[in-house]
Amino acid sequence: MIKKISFIFLLSLYSLINSQVFKEPYYFIGPDEMHVYKQSHDTLYASTTFSLEPFNINKYKSHYKIWDVTEKPSDFIVIKLETLDSIPLTTKPYPEDRFKISIYKNKNGKELIMVRDINHLTKQAMINYNTDTIQLKNNIGMNLYSLSYMKELIKLKKVITKKDTDKIDNELNDPKYIAFIENYKLENKLPDPYASILTASLINTACLNLGYSPIGASFSMNIINSNKKLKEKEKIIDEFYKRINP
């Protein structure tokens, strides 16, 4: 009897470990702040940050119960989630349509790309959703970098001068980025009303192509292009980069 219980325990433990999609924190480098995601057992936590300091799950902005993880061909991962955050000042703090399905492309072990986010599902609709009918072809979406990869990226050249900013701006004028924008318009399946995902994708890609760190690049470019005095710009940028990598 003890052996049987041990076997069942080990089997469930293996299943839990095997379903760890976010084996470490993953970051979306946005135009302003960074969004970070961390999995702890069957819970996915999300928050915003300006640094790579350890993720504190007690200071999350939202969190979800992971109901199911399914791996599809071509390295696509389908995750069924339940929002655990209540809606304040309402008669239904936990609405029936609090379930959703998120789909990621596992690009290279260092990077996940969220390509779909199907929201406002009931529990039954989420469970019965036939994910085989979802077209999984493109790699356009929100790029998330693992913490270990972020620690590599932070070592790249930083954007600190007007020359750096001009170099990135010139890179963005290359026709290949126009093609990227057109492809994004056709293939993107995520809501992006303010084009923040598109803007981040363009600047992050340009930085990586030029050997710059995308972490903090957008912030620095905004400060450098501002009307502030040179010494003030340098002080703000220096303090910002110190905050990123404490």
pLDDT (tens digit, 9 = 90+) per residue, 96-128? 999 999 999 998 889 999 999 999 999 999 999
CA-to-CA separations, 138 to 150, 202, 239, in angstroms, rounded: 24, 17, 38
Rounded to an integer, what distance in angstroms lies between the CA atom of residue 140 and that of residue 121? 23
CB 104 within 8 Å of CB 115: yes
- Domain boundaries in the chain? 18-150, 152-244
CB 2 within 8 Å of CB 118: no
Mean pLDDT of 41-70: 94
Which residues make beta-bridge pairs with 106? 112
**Helices 196-210 and 217-224 sit at what angle, rounded to 10 degrees?**
90
Rg (CA), the chain: 20
Is the predicted pLDDT of residue 244 greater than 60, yes or no?
yes
Band (pLDDT 50/70/90 cuts) for residue 19 is low
Give me the percent of the chain exceeding a pLDDT of 90.
77
Chain-centroid distance of CA 39 in Å reads 13
Band (pLDDT 50/70/90 cuts) for residue 64 is very high
DSSP state at residue 94:
S
Is the predicted pLDDT of residue 225 greater than 70, yes or no?
yes
Q: How many CB atoms lie within 10 A of CB 168?
A: 21
Amino acid at 168: I
Predicted confidence at residue 10, as pLDDT, reads 43
Predicted confidence at residue 132, as pLDDT, reads 82
CB 218 within 8 Å of CB 141: no
Mean pLDDT of 149-165: 97
Q: How many CB atoms lie within 10 A of CB 51?
A: 15
Predicted confidence at residue 72, as pLDDT, reads 87
Mean pLDDT of 64-88: 93
Mean pLDDT of 41-54: 94
Which residues make beta-bridge pairs with 81? 66, 100
List of residues 6+ apart from 45 with CB closer than 8 A: 37, 38, 39, 55, 57, 60, 62, 63
Give me the percent of the chain exceeding a pLDDT of 70.
92
Q: pTM for the complete prediction?
A: 0.89
Q: Report the mean per-residue pLDDT for the chain.
A: 90
Q: pLDDT tens digit string along 170-218?
A: 999 999 999 999 999 999 999 999 999 999 999 999 999 999 999 999 9
Handedness of CA 127, 189, 209, 206 (dihedral sign): negative
